[in-house]
């Protein structure tokens, strides 16, 4: 009898221990559905092998749906997610509101590219760890530029870009000198227009938050943009977003495209591009003032303040943004597939240096000054956006007005006057100005 009791008790004890040993922490990770993030999901066996007590559950969504969902959840402290994928626009705003947990134990934090780390730091604390980062640059067809008898400078001005675009354009053959986004939306055409404004020395607000669309800099920038796109752009610029513009470039219809550095991998992919061997890169244009207006964006992993699983979440974020992960991707899928733009050590790696768009990407990122995006003094940080909560709506409104100027529905003067009114209304209502 004693043996039976001992046996039963031992079995219970063993079961209890076993249950404790396999007690799992489930992490729910909300992520955007781009190629790099999908690749990460496939490689997470490496993480779970080292952390068998952590189970990963993914909620993968389109960027805009994800943004709405995550914003609702974090604002309402819904606690549905343990790790979030967010961008450089959200991090400073959410960080200041106390919605994010400061990150500890990030692998070799000093190795993060300073401009990226700076954009993700609030009050000296890293609030999100960059998974991949991008800036903007010129991507152009070498053959079409060569046919004009001109050469693309490494750091061209807007006038030089327009001169080349004028020569390339052959509308009868559906070849357009330059393709740019113009579709309404702060992350669509608004990103290009904001960056263009910065390179012309324009700013959204002066040091007292007074809107500046009535300034000569904005007039020069928008007039140049509208004139150039009318002369050298494809039809329907005002409705072309990133995907539409990329499709035009991939089909060989654009001489130049100024957009996200991450696009380079698609343009050199023979499965997607018509002229994959003819791509070259240059710095985004300036007006001779040294401000190239190139933007900065980093999809980053952050931990919401409402999570109950901070330790496990910290471990995961550290793994996904580590040097070890970079090496894992390189070993499995090659160096060209490695998430770009986040670590200095990646660009010191001789293997990665062989990737054609590695150096232009780094040069573009290093040229960014998020703290002072325009050559005039600004009270805000950002680049293609202004890092204030009101910007998402205002940026979209202004880009809608600019799209009307691109399509010819409004003159440049009308568009700027309406933008000034809209910005004044928003900033007054939000209490920035009286």
Q: Residue 170 interacts with other proteins (CB under 8 A)?
A: no
Q: Residue 332 interacts with other proteins (CB under 8 A)?
A: no
Q: Residue 428 interacts with other proteins (CB under 8 A)?
A: no
Least distance in angstroms from the C-beta of 2 to other proteins? 46
- Identity of the residue, 271 or 377, whose beta carbon is nearer to other proteins in the bound complex: 271
Q: Residue 157 interacts with other proteins (CB under 8 A)?
A: no
Find, among 230, 227, 235, 228, the residue nearest to 162 by Cα: 228
Q: Looking at 51, 80, 372, 376, which residue binds other proteins (CB under 8 A)?
A: 80
Q: Residue 105 interacts with other proteins (CB under 8 A)?
A: no
Q: Residue 333 interacts with other proteins (CB under 8 A)?
A: no
Q: What is the rounded distance in angstroms from the CA atom of residue 143 to the CA atom of residue 275?
A: 9
Least distance in angstroms from the C-beta of 265 to other proteins? 10
- Joined tokens for residue 129: 């760890």
Q: Residue 313 interacts with other proteins (CB under 8 A)?
A: no
Q: What is the rounded distance in angstroms from the CA atom of residue 301 to the CA atom of residue 88?
A: 11
Instruction: Please list, residue by residue across 399-419, b when 16 or more beta carbons sit within 10 angstroms of its beta carbon and e when fewer do.
Output: bbbbbbbbeeebebeebbebb
Letters for 358-397 (x = contact with other proteins by CB under 8 A, - = none) are ----------------------------------------
Least distance in angstroms from the C-beta of 192 to other proteins? 13
Least distance in angstroms from the C-beta of 57 to other proteins? 6
Instruction: Please list, residue by residue across 39-69, b when 16 or more beta carbons sit within 10 angstroms of its beta carbon and e when fewer do.
Output: ebeebbeebeeebeebebebeebeeeebbeb
- Identity of the residue, 87 or 95, whose beta carbon is nearer to other proteins in the bound complex: 87
- Identity of the residue, 202 or 260, whose beta carbon is nearer to other proteins in the bound complex: 260
Which range of residues in 58-66, 139-147, 163-171, 380-388 is near other proteins by CB under 8 A? Answer: 58-66
- Identity of the residue, 211 or 234, whose beta carbon is nearer to other proteins in the bound complex: 234
- Identity of the residue, 79 or 118, whose beta carbon is nearer to other proteins in the bound complex: 79
Letters for 81-100 (x = contact with other proteins by CB under 8 A, - = none) are x-------------------
Q: Residue 78 interacts with other proteins (CB under 8 A)?
A: yes
Please say whether the dihedral angle defined by the alpha carbons of residues 402, 405, 410 and 413, taken in this order, is positive or negative.
Answer: positive
Q: Residue 242 interacts with other proteins (CB under 8 A)?
A: yes
Q: Looking at 60, 148, 157, 372, which residue binds other proteins (CB under 8 A)?
A: 60
Q: Residue 72 interacts with other proteins (CB under 8 A)?
A: yes
Size of site (CB under 8 A) for other proteins: 42
Using only C-alpha atoms, the chain has a radius of gyration, in whole angstroms, of 24
The torsion angles phi and psi of 157, rounded to 5 degrees, stand at -95, 165
Q: Residue 62 interacts with other proteins (CB under 8 A)?
A: yes
Q: Residue 55 interacts with other proteins (CB under 8 A)?
A: no
Which range of residues in 85-93, 203-211, 238-246, 392-400 is near other proteins by CB under 8 A? Answer: 238-246
Q: Looking at 25, 43, 69, 404, which residue binds other proteins (CB under 8 A)?
A: 69
Q: Looking at 24, 46, 53, 68, which residue binds other proteins (CB under 8 A)?
A: 68
Least distance in angstroms from the C-beta of 300 to other proteins? 16
Site residues (CB under 8 A) for other proteins, limited to 248-307? 250-251, 253, 260, 262, 266, 271-272
- Identity of the residue, 28 or 212, whose beta carbon is nearer to other proteins in the bound complex: 28
Q: Which residues bind other proteins (CB under 8 A)?
A: 28, 30, 33-35, 38, 41, 57-65, 68-69, 72-73, 75-81, 187-188, 241-243, 246-247, 250-251, 253, 260, 262, 266, 271-272
């Amino acid at each position: 009898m004693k043996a039976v009791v001992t046996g039963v008790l031992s079995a219970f004890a063993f079961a209890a221990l076993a249950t404790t040993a396999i007690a799992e922490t489930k992490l729910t990770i909300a992520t955007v559905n781009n190629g790099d993030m999908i690749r990460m999901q496939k490689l997470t066996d490496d993480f779970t092998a080292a952390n068998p007590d952590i189970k990963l559950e993914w909620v993968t969504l389109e960027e805009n749906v994800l943004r709405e969902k995550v914003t609702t959840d974090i604002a309402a402290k819904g606690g549905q997610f343990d790790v979030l994928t967010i961008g450089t626009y959200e991090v400073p705003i959410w960080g200041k509101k106390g919605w994010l947990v400061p990150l500890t134990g990030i692998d070799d934090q000093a190795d993060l590219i300073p401009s990226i780390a700076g954009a993700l730091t609030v009050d000296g604390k890293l609030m999100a760890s960059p998974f991949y980062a991008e800036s903007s640059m010129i991507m152009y067809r070498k053959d079409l530029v060569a046919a004009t008898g001109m050469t693309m400078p490494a750091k061209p001005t807007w006038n030089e870009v327009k001169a080349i675009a004028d020569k390339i354009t052959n509308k009868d053959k559906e070849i357009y000198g330059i393709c740019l986004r113009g579709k309404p939306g702060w992350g669509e055409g608004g990103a290009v227009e904001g960056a263009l404004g910065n390179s012309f020395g324009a700013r959204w607000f002066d040091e007292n938050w007074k809107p500046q669309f009535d300034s000569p800099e904005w007039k020069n920038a928008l007039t140049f943009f509208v004139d150039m796109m009318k002369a050298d752009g494809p039809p329907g610029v005002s409705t072309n977003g990133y995907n539409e513009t990329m499709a035009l470039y991939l089909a060989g219809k654009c001489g130049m495209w100024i957009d996200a550095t991450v696009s380079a991998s698609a343009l050199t992919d023979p499965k997607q591009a018509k002229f994959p061997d003819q791509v070259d890169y240059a710095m985004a244009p300036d007006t001779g003032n040294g401000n190239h207006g190139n933007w900065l964006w980093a999809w980053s992993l952050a931990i919401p303040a409402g999570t109950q699983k901070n330790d496990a979440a910290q471990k995961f974020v550290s793994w996904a943004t580590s040097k070890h992960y970079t090496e894992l991707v390189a070993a499995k899928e090659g160096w060209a597939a490695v998430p770009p733009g986040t670590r200095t050590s990646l660009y010191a790696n001789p293997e990665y240096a062989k990737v054609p768009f590695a150096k232009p990407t780094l040069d573009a990122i290093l040229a960014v000054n998020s703290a002072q995006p325009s050559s005039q003094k600004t009270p805000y940080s950002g680049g293609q956006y202004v890092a204030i909560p009101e910007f998402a709506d205002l940026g979209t409104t202004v880009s809608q007005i600019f799209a009307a100027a691109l399509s010819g529905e409004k003159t440049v003067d009308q568009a700027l006057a309406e933008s000034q009114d809209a910005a004044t209304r928003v900033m007054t209502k939000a209490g920035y100005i009286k």
